[in-house]
Amino acid sequence: MKKMWQDLSFKMKLGILVVVLVSFVVFTVVTYNTLVEEVRDVGIDQATTMMLQGYKKELQDIVDVMALTLSAAIEEETSEQEIYQIFSNGIGDVRFFPDESGYYFIYKTGGVVFAHAAQPKLEGKNLIGFKDPQGKLLIEELDRVSRNGGGFVEYVWEKPNQGLKPKLSYARMIPGTKYWIGTGVYIDDIEEQANKILATIHTISSDFAKKMYLLLGAAWIVVVLPLSWIVVRSIAKPIHELTYIADEYSLGNLDLKIPSAGRKDEIGRLAMAIERLGASIKLAIDRLGSRENKKLYNTTSSQPAGLNRLFTDPKAVERLNGEINLLKQDNRKILGQGVLNLFERWDISTKDKCSILGLSDKDSHLLEDIRVGITVPDTIDLIDRIGLLLGIHKTLKNIYQEKYLSH
């Protein structure tokens, strides 16, 4: 995995980084939306619970007050007819809640309707087995919670002109009697309020999300992508240029201008290093030329004449001065022998010979092969290096031709 990463180009690495950043942003957005939904659900649950608790408190207060009032009103009454009149008069015209949908109903324990402010025709009927449209035995439930100290029952009930709606009732015993009193309130507005809260949260979160998405999109378009491109260009392009310069140096083209040498970062330091490398190669070539020049000037009349001693075969010199077809083995053989004569003239070690020709130590046997007349291998790099060395020889010969002819 590490090697695979190292082998990737810088553009590819930066592309992967951008993909990771995009993935992180997408993950953040998804997480944000999930969090908003959770907050919305929690908010709606809490609001619904608070509203329901408010209704329960209001119902309980309304029923408790009336239960105590009716209990006090019949304190000395024993006749059921008198009690009925007091109860009926006490609850008959009482309405509450803003829409006046609230009213009282009084039952005997066991489920018989005793007094009903909204539906007097039900009085005297036993509704203990009555079920709401969803099958709940709501009178039985109210009777049970009343005898257990009072409590709440939720069910569905017909709401005028609106159909079935959820309703909440509270019932309790009238102190000192066998009757229980209750009332109820439609709680469909809780769902309406919950939907309003949901719509409000959705509007706020949607507006915020749109602004966030626009901001993120603008940031990517205006900042991240241009900055990424600038970074790629500022690094990849100079590296490509310096790679080209290094390749040209290896081919002997040492007169190229080094780009990015004035930069202060790592690219600039790399450019300066390549520039120093080129200068060192030029200096090495100049020194080789100076050594040959010195040997040429020190040549006396008792010595073989000038640069013609660079080749054992005089005809080879003449052939090298013209066009040479390097595809022919004989020509490559002449090149190889000529270079070996140059090496002997320069008096350098076998290791240096291999280094100049780009050969490793294990390939040093090629020098002996060339010396005994075996053809130079037709590798481009080796032939280029041989051509460069012979070019130096030819230049020296042209410069010192007069002295060469005098000998």
pLDDT of residue 89: 93
Average pLDDT estimate for 368-382: 69
Average pLDDT estimate for 175-196: 87
User: Could you tell me which residues come within 8 angstroms of residue 404 by beta carbon, excluding any fewer than 6 positions away?
Assistant: 296, 305, 306, 307, 308, 397
Residue 234 has pLDDT above 60, yes or no: yes
Highest mean pLDDT among 12-26, 27-41, 78-92: 78-92
Residue 28 has pLDDT above 70, yes or no: yes
Residue boundaries of the structural domains of the chain: 2-41+197-238, 60-193, 301-406
User: What is the percent of the chain where pLDDT is above 70?
Assistant: 76
Instruction: Categorize the per-residue pLDDT at 3 as very low, low, confident or very high, splitting at 50, 70 and 90.
Output: low
pLDDT of residue 135: 94
The tokens for 208 are 């915020």
Which CATH architecture group holds 301-406?
Orthogonal Bundle (1.10)
pLDDT tens-digit readout, 276-286: 877 777 777 77
pLDDT of residue 301: 35
pLDDT of residue 2: 57
Residue 294 has pLDDT above 60, yes or no: no
Query: 60-193, which class in CATH?
Result: alpha beta
Highest mean pLDDT among 36-45, 83-92, 204-213: 83-92
Kindly report which listed range (56-65, 111-120, 197-206, 395-404) carries the lowest average pLDDT score: 395-404
- Residue 136 CB burial class (10 angstroms; 0-12, 13-18, ≥19): middle
User: Could you tell me which residues come within 8 angstroms of residue 256 by beta carbon, excluding any fewer than 6 positions away?
Assistant: 245, 248, 249, 278
User: Could you tell me which residues come within 8 angstroms of residue 306 by beta carbon, excluding any fewer than 6 positions away?
Assistant: 296, 299, 397, 400, 403, 404, 407
- Angle at the Cα of 384 (from 383 to 385), degrees rounded to 5? 90
pLDDT tens-digit readout, 116-141: 999 999 999 999 999 999 999 999 99
Residue 113 has pLDDT above 90, yes or no: yes
- Count CA atoms closer than 13 A to 234's CA, side-chain side: 11
pTM: 0.47
CA distance linking residue 142 with residue 157, whole number of Å: 15
Mean pLDDT, the chain, rounded, equals 77
pLDDT of residue 284: 72
pLDDT of residue 325: 57
* CA distances in angstroms from 31 to 95, 155, 262, 407, listed in the order given: 50, 38, 47, 91
Instruction: Categorize the per-residue pLDDT at 13 as very low, low, confident or very high, splitting at 50, 70 and 90.
Output: low
User: What is the percent of the chain where pLDDT is above 90?
Assistant: 26
370 touches 320 (CB < 8 A):
no
Average pLDDT estimate for 300-310: 36
The tokens for 127 are 């509704």
Residue 314 has pLDDT above 50, yes or no: no
358 touches 381 (CB < 8 A):
yes
CA terminus-to-terminus distance, the chain? 67
Residue 187 has pLDDT above 60, yes or no: yes
CA distance linking residue 333 with residue 114, whole number of Å: 131
Q: What is the DSSP letter of 223?
A: I
